[in-house]
């Protein structure tokens, strides 16, 4: 039996949960509510997004009922989280989701920097296009800044839950929790557990030394650290690429790379490709 939909997550800040059958974008709607003064802890969960957005303006689409699409409004104290640390909210949700999924299923997700949750089967060298991981979820964090401080953070996530069968055209790049676990996914229960876990991770993040504690856990479950990667920076026509080994995350969650020339590069944002050893 599926868990009933809920309006409040008890003993958390998430006390205004709205469920919608269809919406253009949960992030866009929640950003508008934030501008109108909505309180921290507002959440929108949709069965279908018709204009969902990912990083760099990409679209996120999925048939109704096959994914959990959720956006969350946070208003961190200026003394606890600066605009340069906003990406740590992405990390908090990634870790919360990873832990919620592990608690409900047998699936062990890894965090692919900067904003994806993936499973990492071995590279299939018979498949030239095999990227070495399968994307299960993506996260998009957007900020409203006022007087050089964060006024609001909206963290949106889409997680593939109920595909049944992975479409042939996506088999080398993505998958779904039901396919991985071999059983159906209770999306309402998953949403509830993600929010409960996010309360823990976000509350911890705002405490003294919270950033360091969060990053320790993120590193523990990282699917990127230790990998040879190619990072694409910028957009057309000015694109820069850096190739190196991902060795660390700094105190703001930025990716630290060691290049072939033994140089250290720190990347704040970019598209990361995990490289096969024979394509480095």
Whole-number Å distance between alpha carbons of 109 and 43: 23
**Are 198 and 241 in a shared domain?**
no
Closest CA to 228 of 189, 193, 272: 272
Mean pLDDT, residues 204-217 taken together: 97
pLDDT of amino acid 278: 45
**Are 47 and 183 in a shared domain?**
yes
**Are 190 and 257 in a shared domain?**
no
Residue 159 lies in a domain: yes
The number of domains in the chain is 2
pLDDT of amino acid 235: 72
Give yes or no for a contact between 108 and 121, defined as CB atoms under 8 angstroms apart.
Answer: no
- Please write the tens of the pLDDT for every residue from 189-206: 999 999 999 999 999 999
Mean pLDDT, residues 85-93 taken together: 96
Residue 90 lies in a domain: yes
Q: Which among 220, 237, 254 is the end of a domain?
A: 220
Site of tokens 């993120």: 218
- Domain range enclosing 199: 16-220
**Are 179 and 80 in a shared domain?**
yes
Residue 114 lies in a domain: yes
DSSP string, 72-88: EEE---TTT--GGGTHH
Give the least confident one: 24-28, 68-72, 88-92, 237-241. Answer: 237-241
- Please write the tens of the pLDDT for every residue from 147-197: 999 999 999 999 999 999 988 888 888 999 999 999 999 999 999 999 999
Give yes or no for a contact between 100 and 266, defined as CB atoms under 8 angstroms apart.
Answer: no
- Please write the tens of the pLDDT for every residue from 230-248: 998 877 777 889 999 999 9
Express as a percent the part of the chain with pLDDT over 90: 75
Residue 189 lies in a domain: yes
**Are 208 and 233 in a shared domain?**
no
Whole-number Å distance between alpha carbons of 102 and 168: 26
Residue 264 lies in a domain: yes
**Are 48 and 170 in a shared domain?**
yes
DSSP string, 242-255: EEEEEEEE-TTSPE
Closest CA to 194 of 96, 91, 80, 276: 96
**Are 148 and 250 in a shared domain?**
no
- Please write the tens of the pLDDT for every residue from 41-65: 999 999 999 876 655 555 656 677 8
Q: Which among 182, 197, 220 is the end of a domain?
A: 220
**Are 252 and 197 in a shared domain?**
no
**Are 181 and 248 in a shared domain?**
no
Residue 7 lies in a domain: no
pLDDT of amino acid 280: 47
Residue 134 lies in a domain: yes
Residue 4 lies in a domain: no
pLDDT of amino acid 279: 47
- Please write the tens of the pLDDT for every residue from 246-272: 999 999 999 999 998 889 999 988 889
CATH number of the domain within which 91 lies:
3.30.930.10
Tallying the residues shown for the chain, one arrives at 280
Site of tokens 């990053």: 215
**Are 52 and 124 in a shared domain?**
yes
CATH number of the domain within which 250 lies:
2.30.30.100
């Amino acid at each position: 039996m599926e868990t009933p939909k809920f309006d409040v997550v008890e003993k958390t800040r998430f006390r205004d949960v709205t469920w919608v059958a269809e919406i253009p974008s949960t992030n866009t709607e929640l950003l508008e509510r934030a501008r109108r003064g909505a309180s921290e802890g507002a959440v929108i969960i949709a069965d279908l997004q018709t204009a969902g957005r990912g990083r760099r303006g990409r679209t996120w689409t999925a048939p109704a009922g096959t994914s959990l699409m959720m956006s969350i409004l946070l208003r961190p104290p200026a003394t606890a989280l600066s605009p340069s640390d906003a990406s740590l909210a992405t990390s908090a949700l990634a870790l919360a989701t990873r832990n919620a999924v592990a608690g409900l299923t047998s699936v062990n997700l890894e965090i692919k920097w900067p904003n994806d949750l993936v499973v990492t089967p071995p590279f299939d060298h018979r498949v030239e296009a095999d990227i070495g991981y399968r994307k299960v979820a993506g996260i998009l964090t957007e900020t409203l800044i006022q007087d050089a401080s964060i006024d609001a953070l909206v963290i949106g996530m889409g997680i593939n839950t109920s595909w049944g069968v992975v479409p042939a055209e996506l088999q080398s790049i993505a998958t779904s929790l039901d396919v991985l676990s071999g059983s159906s996914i209770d999306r309402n229960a998953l949403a509830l557990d993600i929010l409960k876990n996010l309360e823990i991770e976000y509350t911890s993040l705002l405490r003294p030394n919270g950033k360091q504690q969060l990053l320790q856990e993120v590193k523990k479950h990282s699917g990127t650290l230790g990998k040879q990667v190619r990072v694409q920076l910028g957009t057309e026509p000015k694109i820069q690429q850096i190739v190196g080994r991902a060795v660390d995350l700094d105190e703001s969650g930025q990716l630290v790379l060691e290049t072939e020339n033994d140089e250290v590069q720190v990347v704040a944002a970019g598209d990361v490709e995990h490289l096969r050893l024979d394509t480095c």
